[in-house]
Amino acid sequence: MTPAPAVQSIAPSERGLALAAALATVLLWASAFVGIRAADRMLSPGSLALARLLVGTIALGVMVVVRHQPLPRRSDIPGLLACGLLWFGAYNLLLNQAERTVDAGTAAMLVNTGPVFVAILSGLFLREGFPRRLVAGCIIGFGGAVVIGFATSNHGFQAGLGAVLCVAAAIVYAGGVTAEKPLLARNSALTVTWLACSIGAVVCLPFAPQLVHELGTADVGTIAWAVYLGLFPTAIGFSFWAYALARTSGGRMGAMGYLVSPVAILLGWLILGAVPPLLALLGGVLCLAGVVVTRGVGLPGRLGARRRVSV
């Protein structure tokens, strides 16, 4: 995989926008867990993934046309295929199926191995190295994810098919991020997100007949959640993610994923009235601490590589 070029210094105002985009992504992705639980009562995993990706593709396509975004070069096609197949296609299918067979706490714990895989793949394939703060922050954040998982799990750690699907989702997510990072050095975040989302939608097209059948019996609330998932966590969330990823390292951006679980718990508390256990709140504090460590000011240089500017 082609190494990503070093992130150039950016203005403080742009750095602030990138951080805001990253935090907005966390909020939108956390809300997706609520949406998936609400929509998958009447839509199967494949149907929900296709509906979400079709809505996202249409919304992003309109924005690309309105903003006259240029298309990528032919040399970018392999990276786009990898990102679309892994992150938008496989990840959505695996996560939707996993949430049907594993309780939310266990799923959150296992899927949150993703930032660890992102850090490893970015260090190896994007030549980002392994900064001490990044390694320490990933350990702290993963510890928080484990605490949240055990606190909110109904059955403890389950080493069954659902657990395997969760870990597989984390791995393909990490692969998608690693493939996306070099593309953003040459293309706009909007264009990359639109094309990757389109590829994911094509992957899920075999579920089209099933989606049509299930939409015929779905209620308005289910359809509304599917549209929400396509517009906000997918179209807006992934675009914001790509904008921020272009302005920081893959490892540090991946570590922001540790915030998704505690924010999802908070949203479940506020929206669904699901009061979280005290231990889950402690896990959330650890996740936040891990992200703060990875994105702290005054980072030591990367081990054997040049310092990067973080969001």
User: How do the domains of the chain map onto residue ranges?
Assistant: 12-294
Reported confidence tier of residue 306, pLDDT bands at 50, 70, 90: very low
Radius of gyration of the chain (CA): 18
15, 50, 68, 91, 222 from 209: Cα distances, Å: 45, 11, 33, 21, 18
Mean pLDDT of 239-258: 87
**Could you say which DSSP state residue 236 is in?**
I
Cβ partners under 8 Å of residue 167, min gap 6: 110, 113
State pLDDT tens for residues 22-71. 999 989 988 887 788 778 779 999 999 999 999 999 999 999 999 999 99
* CA-based nearest residue to 197, from 73, 84, 117: 84
Contact criterion met (CB below 8 Å) for 145 and 112: yes
Report residue 68: phi and psi, to 5°: 50, 50
User: What CA–CA distance (Å, rounded) separates 187 from 181?
Assistant: 10
Residues constituting the chain: 311
State pLDDT tens for residues 252-292. 887 888 888 788 778 877 776 767 677 877 877 888 788 78
pLDDT at 7 over 70: no
Terminus-to-terminus CA distance in the chain, angstroms?
A: 24
Reported confidence tier of residue 108, pLDDT bands at 50, 70, 90: low
Consecutive H or E run containing 25: helix 12-39
Cα angle 300-4-291, degrees, rounded to a multiple of 5: 45
User: What CA–CA distance (Å, rounded) separates 53 from 87?
Assistant: 11
